[in-house]
Amino acid sequence: MHPAPSIILFSTLSGLGFGLLAFLGLGAPAPTGWVAFVFYAVAFALAVGGLISSTFHLGRPERAWRAFTQWRTSWLSREGCVAVAALLIMGIVALAQIFWDRPLPLLGGIGAVLCLITVFSTSMIYASLRTVPRWHDLTTPALFLAWSVAGGALLAAHTTLAGGLLLAALAIQIAHWLRGDTALRRSGTTLGTATGLTGGALRSFEPPHTGGNYLTQEMVFLIGRKHARNLRIIAAVLGGALPAALLLLAPAGHVVAGLALLSHLAGLIVTRWLFFAEAEHVVGLYYGAHRGKTA
């Protein structure tokens, strides 16, 4: 699918922000005064900034509020509702810590859970789509939660914990890639099932049309295998392996933590780009985009 920059920023920044808010809600760390202000400012900037960036992918951004009305059936709507609740509760916790030096462990715990539910809801927007077999897998929510928690630990200055969590997230990422490479074939979807013409093996006689349309622009995106493989290596090294090595093996310090954070952020952006670029929507079968990838 088309890797829109707004969605990449949304899924990257909001995951980091809500991950950090979850740690702050659990009191790890438990800063006060200006230190607390800085931690919460970073967390809210990432979480809210990521959510706002997602609206730039909408055709009518002014109607974004309507997403909150479909919470019974839409994971997008559920994400929005839970995100607002999490931000409101964590806002109260932040004010108590910054201005009154008073931790609110019960309310903070509730806020932390809501932050993780927000990240889970974001992942389910994609995992619930049967039309994208690579996403329709248990590794998708595990992947979003793992990177969010690992990034949150890194931002919260839990260096040793962050190193271990980054390695765990990297392992889940690799599993997601390996399972995703065979997902379209395992789904049993072919040109015949996609078009409803199941009478034997089918092939396209000619393209459906000569010009592009919304489906080809948004749902069909091709990336070369060699290019994807190289980007996976970059994403794995920068997003997980290098920052974990810095945190676990290098002497502790602000410089090392800063380098680990920059490396992780760069790798995570590449990972998110691949998440969308490698996703084969079944509509691509109709346009001949995924030949050779199905049984």
Looking at the structure, tell me whether residues 123 and 138 fall in a common domain. Answer: no
Last residue of a domain, one of 128, 154, 184: 128
Looking at the structure, tell me whether residues 152 and 254 fall in a common domain. Answer: yes
Geometric angle at alpha carbon 48, from 42 and 51, rounded to 5°: 140
Looking at the structure, tell me whether residues 122 and 213 fall in a common domain. Answer: no
* Phi, psi (deg, nearest 5) at residue 133: -55, -35
User: What pLDDT, on the 0 to 100 scale, is given for residue 295?
Assistant: 45
Last residue of a domain, one of 73, 93, 128: 128
Looking at the structure, tell me whether residues 97 and 224 fall in a common domain. Answer: no
**Structural domain range at position 243:** 134-295
Looking at the structure, tell me whether residues 96 and 220 fall in a common domain. Answer: no
Question: Which stretch of 108-112, 124-128, 166-170, 180-184 has the lowest confidence by average pLDDT?
Answer: 180-184
pLDDT tens track for 58-69? 666 666 667 778
Looking at the structure, tell me whether residues 198 and 241 fall in a common domain. Answer: yes
User: What pLDDT, on the 0 to 100 scale, is given for residue 70?
Assistant: 80
Looking at the structure, tell me whether residues 12 and 31 fall in a common domain. Answer: yes
Looking at the structure, tell me whether residues 138 and 248 fall in a common domain. Answer: yes
More confident residue, 280 or 260: 260
Looking at the structure, tell me whether residues 108 and 183 fall in a common domain. Answer: no
Q: How many domains does the chain have?
A: 2
Last residue of a domain, one of 128, 154, 178: 128
**Angle, nearest 10°, between helix axes 139-155 and 254-277?**
160
